A and B are shown apart, each in its own frame.
Chain A
Amino acid sequence: MKEFIGYSIAPGIIAGNVTLVEGDIFTVSKGHIKDSEVEEHIISFQNAVSQSISEIDLLLTYLETRARDEREILQSHQEILKDQILFKDVAAIIREELKPADRAVQEYFNKMIDHLSDINDVVLSQRKEDFEDIKMRIIRNMHHQDIRINDLVKENKVVVLPEIIPSLVLSIKDSHPLAVIVEKGSPHSHSAIIAKSIGIPVVFNIENALKVFKEDDFVIVYGTEGKVILEPDKNQMIEYGSLQKKAEEEFKKKITLLKTPTFTKDKTKIELMGNIEFPEECEMPEVRYIDGVGLFRTEFLYFLDNSFPSAENQFKMYKQVIQNLPKGKPVYVRTFDVGGDKLQREFGLHKEVNPNLGCRGIRFLLKYKEIFRQQIRGILMASAYGNLKIMLPMISSIKEVIESHELISQVKALLTKEKIAFNKKIEVGIMIEIPSSAILADQFAEHVDFFSIGTNDLTQYVLAADRNNEALADEYTYYDPAVIELIKTTISAGQRNNIDVKLCGEMASDPVAVPLLLGLGLRSFSANIGGIIQVKKILSRFTIAELENFYKEHQNISQEELQQAYKQLIKQ
């Protein structure tokens, strides 16, 4: 019996036999390049570095409301990528030693890693993983290749890999292994985020896994603890048996809860949907069994290969999402909400001093209409297969809504001419996340089919408090009366004009805020996957009348007191 501890990436308990996938997945080019190829290789290196920087930008956007530690580590990785020394040193290896770019990067970082390993300091030498991570990111961006290892991975086995990249995670999933163990892997990587959604236990960073495990060794993988037990003894098997049974029962309970429609205590029907980032996430039970996807962020599309995919490729992904969900369930596709600041290089944009108040969301899309057109075309084509809706981000004026409608009509006309099927009555709605649209919600309502309140940005713009600025952590709060007032304005404008009002921001995942929102009249919530179970339980605990009264009694107190009052309420 031997026990190994790594990073927990995805939960679950499973026992089975291992299968090893050996060899360096990131085999770099061999030999030397010609003098005439030097510049080309330096440019390819530079491009891969730029891509890595923008990739991290998007990862940071994804992590914005999550772990602070992960953000800081990723930000320091960006600093390294931007370091002139890195560029100079690698360029020198390419130019002077005539090494191909990918090999130059590998050798450079391996040298750094060796250097750190020589240092007699345990803590520091553990930090090698940062360099490993950066190295792999650059090389992956240089290769662009899609690695498929279906042939190597056998069904019903615990797969052990040396390292992993996002496309590999997805191809592994298709071959249905029991669990995945990775020798080297960063919990902050894109792979880790995707690995969370494949529904089997995943553990990263089991050192020397390929040496310590032999083909067909029997192991127990504890995904939640990041633990692997090799050749368990009798007691451990008994423990595994009972834990697995318990986990199965809990899973069944969870599914039953998810499948039960959501009602308040007084039987008011509430719509509960989930927010997703990647198409694969719609296969998770938390998303499959509830009322649909209330927010499908699409920034990942850009992120996959650092360019905007064609309508055809987008169509395939939207179709995948809609077909993986039970028939009829809606998916609200939010069009690209990227800022020009993230795409400066590609679009030759000027550096924005204040990107949050810059050319992002709908402003970017209306400026680069071809990108917008391709996305609308992709969504419309997929709308023939299910209940897709278009959701426009960062709307601040009615003019933007009208211009977007015009573009959508043009794309529809073209599809009709080409005899391509789509849902002619597809709903188009807007995010309410800029104060101007909340204040004039009544006027906007005439032009759209639904509102979806984005509380993260709304709070930041109403209070002029950057949500990532830690010094303003107390100021940035959606319990602020002004934020609540605008949420109320939006909900009542929706009621008056008979259009749906949804809320997909962080607030809908906050169990303390959910009773407040119900009391304000909100009936449709879209929560983060991790928060769905808890929100679902809270939604059924109170009657609407009781929450309306509770709000009336507490509306004139400070935001801290208000938050406290609701904390007390859900504790009871």
Chain B
Amino acid sequence: MITKTVMLINKLGIHVRPASLISKTASKYKSNFLIRKDDMEINGKSVMGIMMLGAGLGTELVLVFNGVDEQEMMEDIVELFEDKFGEE
């Protein structure tokens, strides 16, 4: 299991486009993927779940990867956050 904390640095936060980007990317991997925010925990492969986090600029999220391809999955997902989901 890998746990990684990320900070949202894109201006618009996780709106529908980044949410679908995250879930699409995550769905390419076999491992489980959870996202935690405060006391909320959701399945990172679900767009609805991600949107429900209501994560805006500056929010801290804990990403939890668990499974056979967790390393690759983590790298791929973290890159999306660092890349600000291709925005700006």
Residues of A bordering B, CB below 8 Å: 72-73, 75-77, 79-80, 83-86, 89, 112, 115-116, 118-119, 121, 123-124, 127, 130
Contact = CB atoms under 8 A, between A and B. Distances in A.
B15 A124 contact: yes
A79 B49 CA distance: 12
A79 B15 contact: no
Contacts of B32: none
Contacts of B56: 119, 121, 123-124
Contacts of A80: 16, 20, 47-48, 51
Nearest to B27: A79
Given A80-B47, A121-B13, A116 B54 contact: yes
A124 B13 contact: yes
A123 B13 contact: yes
Given A80-B47, A80-B48, A85-B49, A115 B19 contact: no
Nearest to B19: A76
Q: Which 9 residue pairs across A and B have the least CB separation, nearest first?
A: A121-B56, A79-B20, A76-B20, A119-B54, A127-B15, A85-B46, A76-B16, A130-B16, A85-B48
Nearest to B59: A121
Nearest to B23: A79
A72 B85 CA distance: 12
15 contacts: A75-B20, A76-B21, A79-B47, A80-B51, A83-B46, A83-B48, A85-B46, A112-B48, A116-B54, A121-B54, A121-B57, A123-B56, A124-B12, A124-B14, A127-B16
B28 interface: no
A77 B19 CA distance: 10
A404 B20 CA distance: 42
B13 A112 contact: no
A67 B41 CA distance: 35
A84 B19 contact: no
Interface string B46-79: 1111011011110000000000000000000000
A127 B52 CA distance: 12
Contacts of B48: 80, 83, 85-86, 89, 112
A115 B56 CA distance: 13
B25 to A, nearest CB: 11
Contacts of A85: 43, 46, 48-49
Contacts of B17: 72-73, 76
B4 interface: no
A116 B14 CA distance: 11
Interface of A is mostly: helix
B20 A123 contact: no
B11 interface: yes
A90 to B, nearest CB: 10
B30 interface: no
Given A121-B57, A123-B13, A124-B14, 20 more contacts: A72-B17, A73-B16, A76-B19, A79-B47, A80-B47, A80-B51, A83-B46, A83-B48, A85-B43, A85-B48, A85-B49, A112-B48, A112-B52, A115-B52, A116-B51, A118-B54, A119-B54, A121-B54, A123-B57, A124-B55
Given A80-B47, A121-B56, A130 B20 contact: no
Contacts of A119: 54, 56
Contacts of A118: 54
Given A79-B24, A115-B52, A84 B46 contact: yes
Contact of B12 (A72, A73, A123): A123
A90 B23 CA distance: 20
A454 to B, nearest CB: 30
Contacts of B43: 85
Contact of B11 (A72, A84, A123): A123
A149 B54 CA distance: 38
A73 B16 CA distance: 7
Contacts of A115: 52, 54
B86 to A, nearest CB: 10
B13 A83 contact: no
Contacts of A77: 16
Nearest to B54: A119
A124 B19 CA distance: 12
Nearest to A69: B17
B51 A112 contact: yes
Nearest to A108: B48
A130 B12 CA distance: 14
A119 B47 CA distance: 18
Contacts of A130: 15-16
Nearest to B13: A124
A134 to B, nearest CB: 9
Contacts of B52: 112, 115
B40 to A, nearest CB: 11
A116 B16 CA distance: 12
Contacts of A123: 11-13, 15, 56-57
A115 B14 CA distance: 14
A119 B24 CA distance: 25
Contacts of B15: 123-124, 127, 130
A84 B23 CA distance: 12
B54 A83 contact: no
Contacts of A116: 51, 54
A109 B43 CA distance: 18
Question: Counting chain A CB atoms within 10 Å of each CB, which of B20, B23, B43 scores highest?
Answer: B20
A75 B19 CA distance: 12
